[in-house]
Amino acid sequence: MARKFFVGGNWKCNGTAEEVKKIVNTLNEAQVPSQDVVEVVVSPPYVFLPLVKSTLRSDFFVAAQNCWVKKGGAFTGEVSAEMLVNLDIPWVILGHSERRAILNESNEFVGDKVAYALAQGLKVIACVGETLEEREAGSTMDVVAAQTKAIADRVSNWSNVVIAYEPVWAIGTGKVASPAQAQEVHDELRKWLAKNVSADVAATTRIIYGGSVNGGNCKELGGQADVDGFLVGGASLKPEFIDIIKAAEVKKSA
């Protein structure tokens, strides 16, 4: 079974209601490959989720950028998985490097979040990736394997998980992993899944790349055998996000 190309747009902490409406209009008018070729998910800040959900075209889906690690309650400022389910938000991004680094979310905490969100019926984009220091020390795979293991230890059904490999040194820096660098880590990650989870999970789980993806580099990155799509940051706020979605065609013609 071929893995369906996946393109996620992480809007991060950006936007006003007016800007969000403009982005949605651009997406709604875009000519993109059909749903059987590419799955498109956009992730606005919490406050804009209902607005985007109610106005976005029906063949694109919406993700939250985070959710709480367990049932809601006395956790001021947090949003629970149950609330997202209640709003019919199908996806959530968990373990983004910005949250790991700035908010000190540990591998275990992220693993717990992924397991809880899945148990509530959400689909999860789980982020992994190494820092520049870790890459230069040659420990990329150790870091990414430990991050993935914390999820694998808590999750038995991977059908609703997409792994996003995002080298921290490439996020928002303009430095992009070369297609060969991306392919190498994706291939190693898939081998890790085959060895530590199952051959089936390794073959079917989508591993997408994130880190300064743009209209200019998306086709070459997307053409790599084990790159199943993208998690796009800054470029997802611009019209070039459409070009990135269209990069899914490289798989169809392969």
Q: Report the catalytic residues.
A: 96, 166
* Helices within the chain (DSSP H only): 17-29, 49-55, 81-86, 97-102, 107-119, 132-136, 140-152, 179-196, 199-204, 218-222, 240-246, 249-253
CA angle 48/51/53 to nearest 5° reads 100
Q: Which residue is listed with tokens 């680094």? A: 101
Rounded to an integer, what distance in angstroms lies between the CA atom of residue 3 and that of residue 204? 6
Structure tokens given for 33: 């490959």
Note the Cα 10 to chain centre separation in Å: 8
End-to-end CA distance of the chain: 15
Beta bridge partners of 92: 64, 124
Rounded to 5°, angle at Cα 214 from 91 and 49: 30
